[in-house]
Amino acid sequence: MGTARRAGLLLAALCLLAGCRGRPEAGDEVWAEVNGQPIYRAQVEKFYAQRTANVPEPFSPAEAQAFKLRVLGELIENEILWQKASQAGVQASDNEVEARFQELRSSFSNEEFGRQLSAQQMTPDELKDVLRRDIAIQKLLDQYLGRRIDVSSSEVAEFYQQHRNEFRFVETHYRVAYILVTPGQEPEVRNLRNDDAVGDAAARRKAEVILERLRAGDDFSEMARNLSEDPATALQGGEMGFFPESALLNTPASLRVAVMAMEPGQVVGPIRTDKGYYIVKLLERQPAGQRDLSDPKLQQTVQERLRRQKRQLLEVAFTERARNQAHVVNHLARQILEANRVGP
């Protein structure tokens, strides 16, 4: 999935998180209320249209209504959490909103960003309102749940024993990050500075300057986010994650030889390929065989996985409790039941 596609989905998801809030049209039907705050039919219909735009076969009337009920349920949940955040005095600062906006903005060219907003029927200010809500909700959850997630050593050991096969490599695995500088003019530069070298001489010089800064102590991931011209990895700090040695067969020989000869933490480059100049950092190498629980990195991996699982559980429980405390009226559900003559 390309970066633009991922970012487009993110915009759609944010639109749902915010309930596609906007000024309702005159006479718009209220489909739900959360502590007196209305959620309008147009909000649900808007997101329903976005989610079903590429469905090959049209939904039956019953399927369409069921889908809209699910969308409405998510909007209700988000409104409950937003109100909780407001009541707790949890807010997103202007700087936090602007930073998130710029991060999302950097995934697009100017024209593409405008097209994405138009497709969502949003303005930049409306998107910032969406981000403000999302940040506040995440801060609320962090405040209540973040310090309550502990993972014991016994839990780590139990998980490891139950999932031993997941930690066995049949071949050497590498974890690599890279910065790419291309000589051609890129139509869509997706680093935070929109920096694009044009021409081979400029590209090589840019790569050499980056390498000099890295040797002087600059952070590799920050350099990648700011200057790498690779749209797939720039915003992830250049990181590719783990991959098996056999995957190196699909890379240029110069890169393959460099990676296999590197030591963890080492940075090499610039390496010239058909695509441009690469600066590569080997983050980690895992030899073939069973990874042992005594490995601190394996322990950290398991701990992080268990924390995510516990966090998800707590978020579900927290949201359910907040829903029980809220006064929610789902008019759409009532209408559907009445239309089908279903009593209490």
For the chain, how far is it from start to end, CA to CA, in angstroms? 46
Rounded to 5 degrees, φ, ψ at 330 are -105, 95
Sketch out the chain's domains with CATH numbers. Answer: 3-147+315-339 (1.10.4030.10), 171-287 (3.10.50.40)
Q: Running DSSP on this structure, what letter comes out for residue 199?
A: S
C-beta of residue 289 within 8 angstroms of C-beta of residue 168: yes
C-beta of residue 137 within 8 angstroms of C-beta of residue 322: no
Please, which residues have CB within 8 angstroms of residue 99's CB and are 6 or more apart in sequence? none
pLDDT tens-digit series, residues 59-84: 899 999 999 999 999 899 999 999 99
* For range 11-22, the mean pLDDT: 48
pLDDT tens-digit series, residues 222-280: 889 888 888 888 888 899 888 888 888 888 888 898 999 999 999 998 999 988 999 99
* Higher pLDDT, residue 184 or 9: 184
Residue with the two structure tokens 């080997």: 282
Alpha helices in the chain (DSSP H): 3-17, 41-51, 61-87, 94-105, 110-119, 124-145, 153-162, 200-215, 220-227, 253-261, 296-325, 331-339
What integer pLDDT is reported at residue 188 of this predicted model?
66
The CA–CA distances, whole Å, from 41 to 16, 37, 275 equal: 13, 13, 49
Residue in 145, 174, 152 with CA at minimum distance from that of residue 302 = 152
Answer whether residue 186 shows pLDDT above 90.
Answer: no
Q: What percent of the chain has pLDDT over 90?
A: 40
Q: Running DSSP on this structure, what letter comes out for residue 265?
A: T
Band the pLDDT of 92: cuts 50, 70, 90: very high
Token pair listed for 177: 């990050």
Q: How far apart are CA 308 and CA 302, in angstroms?
A: 10
pTM as predicted: 0.66
Task: Describe the crossing of helices 3-17 and 124-145 by its angle, rounded to 10 degrees.
Answer: 70
Band the pLDDT of 90: cuts 50, 70, 90: very high
What integer pLDDT is reported at residue 57 of this predicted model?
82
Q: What percent of the chain has pLDDT over 70?
A: 90
Q: Running DSSP on this structure, what letter comes out for residue 263?
A: P
Q: How far apart are CA 206 and CA 200, in angstroms?
A: 10
What integer pLDDT is reported at residue 189 of this predicted model?
63
* Higher pLDDT, residue 262 or 19: 262
pLDDT tens-digit series, residues 280-327: 999 988 888 888 888 888 898 899 999 999 999 999 999 999 999 999
Q: How far apart are CA 202 and CA 44, in angstroms?
A: 50
Residue in 26, 126, 30, 10 with CA at minimum distance from that of residue 75 = 30
Q: How far apart are CA 19 and CA 288, in angstroms?
A: 48
* Centroid of chain to Cα 309: 17
